[in-house]
Amino acid sequence: MSKSLSAWVLGVTLLPLAVFASPAPDKVQAAIDWAQQQPSVRQTQNWDSKAPLVIAHRGASGYAPEHTLAAYALAAFQGADYIEPDLVMTRDGQLVARHDNELGLTTDVAQRPEFADRKRTQSVDGRSLEGWFSEDFTLAELKTLRAIERIPQQRPGNTRFDGQFEIPTLQEIIDLVKRLEALQQRTLGLYPETKHPTHFQQLDLAMEKPLLAVLERNGYDSADAPVFIQSFEVANLKALSTLTPIRLVQLLWVEGQPYDQQVLGSGLGYQQMITPEGLQTIASYASGIGPEKGMIIPRDAAGNLTAPTSLVRDAHAAGLKVHPYTFRAENAFLPTRLRNGSEPSERGDIKAELRAFLATGIDGLFIDQPDIAVRLREQR
């Protein structure tokens, strides 16, 4: 075969790769375009952030299925300061955004016959769970699934988006944040949570170093970086505090103890952690706490707000920021007196609830409808 013929054959062989291959869709831009078309986006784009921080809980999850690029982009256009991706691991060691490693509530996996045999029962954080688990899927397999609304009874309107959005990777979320920062000419923060860290560590899928590797590769490597890493467990936050200067936040629940402390048999419980002494200990490895909001203003037997506890004051005395969770506008989640009618999905007077919590001096808050908190903050 002549050189010219050989070159021609080689060229034809390579043409499909170089010429005919269709480009990968720009998922980040598609999410931005979708978000900009939604009625809840800010019409006046003043991005000056004030205290307290508005943290978009799983994105703008009151308007779109949680932990999707669309929900994160919408939160940014609503004026949120930070977006919160909960992170779990895939079988091949990739970080993806899901509220839990069990996928049945937030994806269409139950309708996928090709994955029917993946359904199983296992112990997660000491509880028996049946379903489909992220650690049983490769990233490529997870990418074939589509997100669905997790709480359709409270958010029936969000179900119209079921099946439209993928499960995003942490890198895709960061790509979205970077593009939104350039578009909006402001800083947009990341607030990732490590979900089930002990569980994944026991599977040889420890998430702390992979998480830091992705963050550092994208320039998030200092205490000044717009990042908080949060966890309900203690040991992984302490380990992270020796590996990174990035700010850490200890999440707190109203009862029981962190799962890693159960495994260790330490006896350390959440109620002990919110004493002045416990908060001083947290301050040795973390910059803030993320308490369930009832730990700041409890509700009485009738479901109404009572007097604030000393938690905000005690945490500030220990040098800790306080970012309570989770504020949601629907009746199902509001104090009794602030509900509007009896329909669980109807929106009540969340502004009154937010004002009560803002008066305690909190430094930030997690909310499913970031636009409401942003507007209220601007009016103060």
Is 74 part of any domain?
A: yes
Q: Would 211 be classed as within a structural domain?
A: yes
- Provide the pLDDT confidence category of residue 43 given band limits of 50, 70 and 90: low
155 in helix, strand or coil?
coil
Residue of 158, 233, 160 whose CA lies nearest to 194: 233
**Domain of residue 339, CATH code:** 3.20.20.190
Q: Nearest 5 degrees, angle CA 369-CA 320-CA 353?
A: 30
Closest Cα to residue 315, out of 257, 364, 378, 266? 364
Active-site positions read 57, 99
Lowest mean pLDDT among 4-18, 142-156, 178-192, 269-283: 4-18
- Domain membership of residue 24 (yes or no) is no
Residue 20 lies in a domain: no
H or E stretch at 366: strand 364-367
Q: Residue 296 sits in which domain range?
A: 50-101+167-379
Global confidence as pTM: 0.92
Question: Which helix (H) or strand (E) segment is 201 a member of?
Answer: helix 197-202
Beta carbons within 10 angstroms of residue 42's beta carbon: 15
Query: What are the start-end ranges of the H helices in 37-77?
Result: 69-77
Domain count, the chain: 1
Is residue 14 a part of any domain in this protein?
A: no
Residue 115 lies in a domain: no
Least confident span in 49-58, 142-151, 177-186: 49-58
235-270 tens-digit pLDDT: 999 999 999 999 999 999 999 999 999 999 999 999
Provide the pLDDT for residue 21. Answer: 39
What is the per-residue pLDDT for 379?
A: 87
In a domain, 29, yes or no: no
Beta strands, E only, 125-174: 127-131
**Predicted confidence (pLDDT) per residue in 85-143, tens digit:** 999 999 999 999 999 999 999 999 999 999 999 999 999 999 999 999 999 999 999 99
> Does residue 128 fall inside a structural domain?
no
Task: Determine the Cα–Cα distance for residues 10 and 270; give it in Å rounded to an integer.
Answer: 66
